Structure 1
Amino acid sequence: MQNYGNILLVEDDASLASWISDYLLNQGFQVAHCDHGDQVVAQVKKENPDLILLDVMLPGKDGIEICRELRSFYNKPIIMLTAKTEEFDEVVGLEVGANDYVMKPVRPRALLARIKAFLRNQTEHNQPQQNNLLTFGTLKLEEKAKRLTYRDQEVQLSTREFELMWLLASHAGQVLERDHVFKVIKNREYDGVDRTIDALVSGLRKKFNDDSQKPQKIKTIWGKGYLFVADAWDN
């Protein structure tokens, strides 16, 4: 059977881990399993999986802390598994670099669709880029290096935050519809409920001191979408 990718499943619920592993194996993936938070970082460094399914609540070290540590060296997709529904948890997860959340109980086909979308997107991003530098005043974005500097200082962004900044900056002066932004960043249709993009935009505004009530750099055009203002980054 063809190997569609190597996945590390970090889950301490033995029953859940077993059926997810079996399901993904039957779909053509290779699956490694880890059930303790303290062991994850070492295993990722050793195996370098194509994607990580990371439970939030783990013995030894929780998923949020693990994700933060992983993002210091690991730039591939991380999907978090959680039974929590509080918006605060989602925002924190995005800030430390998670690409997406899957709520428990896990739906097999929905999980598979997200895994395939992220792996496909990862492959596309690894293709050579012709134009990978954008500059607006004192703001500079380097797509290949996933690096952003502002006022000669590097700004630390999560993978998802950089993806959103690049998307908006690539269409400077154009209003990007919310549904389009959601589809590009999340690899699926907007469901009318998920506030991931709102959380990301809010986080970016804070990092660039853009007034949330009257933003000048990244504007929300009510009823339409988002606008990256090209001439707002001069100072």
Structure 2
Amino acid sequence: MSSKARVLIVEDEIKIAQLLSDFLQADGYATDMLHDGAQVIEHVKSEAPDFILLDVMLPNKDGLSLCKEIRQFSEVPILMLTARVDEIDRLMGLGFGADDYVCKPFSAREVVARVHAILKRVKQVPKVQDESVLDYKNVSLDENKFLCLVSGQKVELTPVEFNLLRTLMSRPGQVFSRAVLMDNSYKDARIVSNRTIDSHMKNLRGKINAHQENDIIHTIYGVGYKLE
């Protein structure tokens, strides 16, 4: 690697954390380790790591709660480490914001490969056109102010909902596939399922339609979505 990306390893099993650290450092990454969930948020805010390996089961604060909290202020890529198969659907489908997961026991080499692949993909995410204010019918979107107005009423959107709407409003009438919507809505290029995009879109439509009668977001079955 030409420059060292810093990876935060949050794992309460010290031997596993050290093993991951050794393999990551051998591949050119810088690493930090934490073993207590209560220390994570402050560290992420102050140190701004480039990537987080986050165990689900942690003392004092679990990984799922931490992932969701981190997503309130950061889009840093997060790879979850889990020994619980029943957590996988929750991780990937219910909005915790993880980019990917690996199940224990895992190969340290596989984890390093996942980190490298996700960071590489982050750099390749295509961007939509750069207008700070977009208007379409009764909807106005101001990126600089993170403000959405529908029929003159302020509508509270999550970052993902805001980016979904921004992509659609950048080219009204054009059909966007779920893959393109994913790339333009998650700036860190996390991996999510189609059902996750559909869930976010359902919530977005509900918020917009609460302030106007006509549904401007249309589903093109088997393809994606468009604004019309």
Q: Same fold (TM over 0.5)?
A: yes
- Partner in structure 2 of residue 174 of structure 1: 174
How far apart, in 1, do the equivalents of 2:194 and 2:102 lie? Answer: 12
Give ranges in structure 1 of 5+ residues lacking alignment.
230-235
Listed one character per residue, the Cα deviations across residues 86-111 of structure 1 (whole Å, up to 9, x for unaligned) are 534434334xxx25232324533233
- C-alpha spacing 1:201/1:57, structure 2 compared with 1 (3 Å): farther
Instruction: Call closer, same or farther: CA 1:189–1:130 in 2, change over 3 Å.
Output: closer
1:112 alignment counterpart: 116
Measured in 2, the distance between the counterparts of 1:178 and 1:146 equals 23
TM-score, structure 1 as length reference: 0.72
Give yes or no for the alignment of 1:226 onto 2:188: no
1:208 matched to 2:212? The reply is no
- Could you say if the C-alpha distance between residues 43 and 112 of structure 1 is closer, same or farther in structure 2, counting changes exceeding 3 Å? same
SS at match of 1:180: helix
Going from structure 1 to structure 2, the CA distance change for 1:16 and 1:228 (only over 3 Å counts) comes to: farther
Aligned-residue RMSD, C-alpha: 3.3
Q: Is the 8 A contact 1:133 1:140 kept in 2?
A: yes
Listed one character per residue, the Cα deviations across residues 135-160 of structure 1 (whole Å, up to 9, x for unaligned) are 224433233454434443241403x3
In structure 1, what residue type is equivalent to 2:101? V
Aligned AA for 1:162?
Answer: F
Q: Which residue of 1 aligns with 2:165?
A: 165
Greater CA deviation, 103-112 or 58-67?
A: 103-112
CA distance in 2, matches of 1:81, 1:48: 18
- Tell me by how many angstroms 1:221 deviates: 0.8
Classify the secondary structure of the residue corresponding to 1:110: helix
Identity of aligned residues (%): 31
Going from structure 1 to structure 2, the CA distance change for 1:50 and 1:201 (only over 3 Å counts) comes to same
Paired with 1:161 and 1:58, the residues of 2 have a C-alpha distance of 30
| Corresponding residue for residue 58 of structure 1 | 58
| Deviations, residues 202-234 of structure 1 (Å, cap 9, x unaligned) | 332343347xxxx923221112211123xxxxx
Task: Tell me, yes or no, if the aligned pair for 2:34 and 2:40 is still in contact at 8 Å.
Answer: yes
Letter aligned with residue 26 of structure 1? A
Scaled by the length of structure 2, the TM-score of the pair is 0.73
Residues 91 and 98 in structure 2, CA contact (< 8 A), matched pair in contact too: no
Larger Rg: 2
| 1:155 alignment counterpart | 156
1:102 aligns with 2:104: no
